[in-house]
Amino acid sequence: MAQSSVALRDVVKTFGAAPVIKGLSLTVEPGEFAVFVGPSGCGKSTLLRLIAGLETPTSGTVRISDRDVTHVHPSKRGIAMVFQSYALYPHMTVAQNMAFGLKIRGMTKTEANARVKRAADILQMDQLLDRKPRALSGGQRQRAAIGRAIVREPDVFLFDEPLSNLDAALRGQMRVELARLHAQLGTTMIYVTHDQVEAMTLANKIVVLNGGRIEQIGRPLDLYRRPANVFVAGFIGSPKMNFLDGKVSASGVGATTIALPDGPVALPFGDGRIKSGDVVKIGVRPEDFRLARDDAARAFEGRVVLVEPLGGETIAHIALDGGAETLVVKLSGEAYVAAGAPIRVAVEPQRIHLFDSDGVAVAPKEA
């Protein structure tokens, strides 16, 4: 299987009067595992279907391996797709499902069967070949759907939320298998999901989408450490990042002071973009908080409202003194926190994120 790049240029897609994709461009490098992630309705599935050829862009181009395929039939783009509902043909066995596309193309029976066997070996599903879809479990059906994609030996694999119909345990297992598959085949893969855990664990490159536009593209840890805006910051990471509203009280390159309801916070970074008096948001991830030591420079004080003891970690919801704000804090292990008790937490200033009044990140920290 060749490795192909996929490039979208200025793609717009409107359904009737509603614009779903509002003009975006992106490139997926050969061999990359790219994940399109975003909330429902952000257009990620539509984008995938545009790459597949099941929809045609209203304007813009789609290129695969530098060939303009914008108006090329799906079966001639060198792609294979795994559908969310698996879309297996119910009246055919798994082997027949897999061989179907090959036979339509005129491949001989022997060659088709050989390919089916190879794919079955990769996925370890030999024993499923003679069964019909209704005799398979969810995970097995999914494997059959992937098998059907593999036999085509495509240049690009497309996955449309393939794990969303599986239960949590199976999902975890299949995630590992998909990562292994990518390592083994090396083919370019484009994967759509609303689950940011899947995105973080599988992707070489994540594309965060919102309302038909790209919010940020980058490697998983880049998106985690340096989110470009409030949306990405809140979308990546679970539990969600805490946001507190504040005002700039002093601004300069290399240092900024933000006034929060309960006192000032000094940040060791800044740029000339924001000015004194600007309304801003600061963001802190739950896992960046620690129980404050007595000598902590800047602590947040409040009362514990709810404790979620997960064993390996403890999540505490804290109502801050003097404000309507609630912080969600993730502490490691079985932390000693009790509901109703007062609590002090602190965070290292470098780990605080700053967003201007438009939600854009300010001076993202150096890696």
Residues that bind another protein (CB under 8 A): 52-54, 56, 73-76, 79-81, 83-85, 87-91, 100-101, 104-105, 148, 152
- Toward another protein, which CB reaches closer, 87 or 307? 87
Edge-to-edge, what's the strand order for the sheet holding 213-218?
A: 79-82, 156-160, 188-193, 33-37, 205-210, 213-218
DSSP labels, 149-182: HHHT--SEEEEESTTTTS-HHHHHHHHHHHHHHH
Neighbour-count burial of 279, counting CB atoms closer than 10 A to its CB (0-12 exposed, 13-18 middle, 19+ buried): exposed
Kind and range of the H or E element at 102?
helix 94-104
- Toward another protein, which CB reaches closer, 133 or 246? 133
How many whole angstroms from its chain centre is CA 118? 31
Which tokens is 68 given? 């303009």
- Minimum CB separation of residue 268 from another protein in Å reads 52
Residues 6+ apart with CB under 8 A from 95: 113, 116, 120, 129, 130
- Toward another protein, which CB reaches closer, 152 or 226? 152
> What is d(CA 132, CA 94) in angstroms, rounded to the nearest whole number?
6
- Minimum CB separation of residue 86 from another protein in Å reads 8
- Minimum CB separation of residue 92 from another protein in Å reads 8
- Minimum CB separation of residue 210 from another protein in Å reads 26
- Minimum CB separation of residue 145 from another protein in Å reads 8
Which tokens is 140 given? 């097995």
- Toward another protein, which CB reaches closer, 148 or 182? 148
- Minimum CB separation of residue 54 from another protein in Å reads 6
> What is d(CA 89, CA 84) in angstroms, rounded to the nearest whole number?
14
- Toward another protein, which CB reaches closer, 37 or 81? 81
- Toward another protein, which CB reaches closer, 152 or 281? 152
Among the listed residues 149, 168, 167, 148, the one whose alpha carbon sits nearest the alpha carbon of residue 158 = 149
- Toward another protein, which CB reaches closer, 91 or 180? 91
The single-letter code of the amino acid at 230 is V
- Minimum CB separation of residue 81 from another protein in Å reads 6
Nearest-10 Cα torsion for 189, 193, 199, 204: 20
